[in-house]
Amino acid sequence: MFRIAIDARPLTQKQRTGVENVGAQFAKLLLSQPQKHHWHFYFTEPPGFDLPKGTRWRFYRGPGWMRLILPLWLFIDRIQLVHFYLSYVPPLARALKTKTIVTVCDLMWLDDISFLDPPSRKFFVKGVLPSLKNRTDHFIAISEATKRELVSRLGIMPEKVSVVSPYVDERFRPVEGAKEAVRQIYGIDKDFLLFVGTVKPNKNMGRILDALSSLREQHPEALLIVAGFAPPFWSEAKRVAEGELGVRWLNYVPDEHLPLLYSSCLALVSPSINEGFGLPLLEAMACGAAVIAGNTGAQPEVVGDAGLLVNPFDTNQITQALFALWEDDSLRTELKRKAIERARSFTHQRTLSQLLNAYEKALS
């Protein structure tokens, strides 16, 4: 048994986005294995839930948590391996004998820094990039596509990268009475398309809105529901927040409402320019939603033949996919069947096995 520390901050975050959701998934899986290793969970807030007996944890609410406090804990607790859910390793941690492993969700920001919100850009260039190149012993890529990018873009040796795919939580399943629940909660009483996620450039919202406009020329009743943050840094997010015709923005949606929205939508529309994985795609499929995804990055890994894959740079292809799913009941029924079946293969048992194997490789 080894002494392994986890950056467990996502477990106490109330409004998580994609990276935090993956971090929370991995941490929850480790909590289900209290006897496997000597686990140490590090927080910035005390956990509002009971941890398994024998699980050690610390919290510190204040400045310098990552750069100073966490490395100090690693030294005091004689940690042999530390897992950071962000692709960042503080320099002091690298000065210890502790081995480091980081989760890498994507590297698309290497191609276009505008994919990141302005406040994060300096951190990624001066913090994350040096960490990936010089301070990490082993890497967890959340898809084969991300692993390929680590190898080709940063020159990481393939044997230092383990693929650990996220899983679909059991609460994501077709919900009986979902349409009525959505009507009561949000006042939506008509058919709708759905987008889930933060509206940022890689999500391709500009082309989605242009395709929606074309759909509405023949189907003026067509509605797109956007569930997620719309930061004011990008023009497409402003179009959503300012009330584009045919769009209703719900802002951040509580996790417990997502299965209702997925189960009642006509389709999830998410043809991203690039994705390191695409957890909303998997969640929607598990709830029986037809999905439109891009044919780039990890999206084909997730969707397979259980959805419509389009060229995300081609607005005409996105438009054609919208028309197909808006008009063709039989197509939606077929994709629903395939989606539920495919989602079943993304199990927490598989993810846990991959995660523990990654730790063994990092420690060897």
CB neighbourhood size of 32 (10 A) = 10
Average pLDDT over residues 160-188: 97
Domain pair 3-167+347-363 / 178-343, same fold:
yes
HSE on the CB side for 250, CA within 13 Å?
Answer: 22
Separation between Cα atoms, residue 18 and residue 157, nearest integer Å: 26
Using one digit for the tens of pLDDT, what is the confidence trace for 48-90?
A: 888 998 899 999 999 999 999 999 999 999 999 999 998 899 9
Using one digit for the tens of pLDDT, what is the confidence trace for 135-153?
A: 999 999 999 999 999 999 9
Long-range contacts of 314-319 (CB under 8 A, 24+ apart): 315/207, 315/210, 315/211, 318/204, 318/207, 318/208, 318/211, 318/269, 318/271, 318/292, 319/210, 319/211, 319/214, 319/215
Quote the Cα angle for 185-188-191, to 5°: 140
CATH 3.20.20.370 at 3-167+347-363, yes or no: no
User: Taking a C-beta distance cutoff of 8 angstroms, is the pair 150, 133 a contact?
Assistant: no
The contacts of residue 15 (CB under 8 Å, 6+ apart) are: 252
Tokens of 319: 């438009």
The contacts of residue 264 (CB under 8 Å, 6+ apart) are: 175, 178, 179, 181, 182, 192
HSE on the CB side for 296, CA within 13 Å?
Answer: 17
Check residue 103 and give its pLDDT. 96
Please provide the CATH number assigned to the domain covering 178-343: 3.40.50.2000
Measured between alpha carbons, how far is residue 355 from residues 16, 28, 226 in Å?
A: 21, 12, 32
Check residue 318 and give its pLDDT. 98
Average pLDDT over residues 118-136: 87
Check residue 345 and give its pLDDT. 95
Domain boundaries, given as residue ranges, for the chain: 3-167+347-363, 178-343
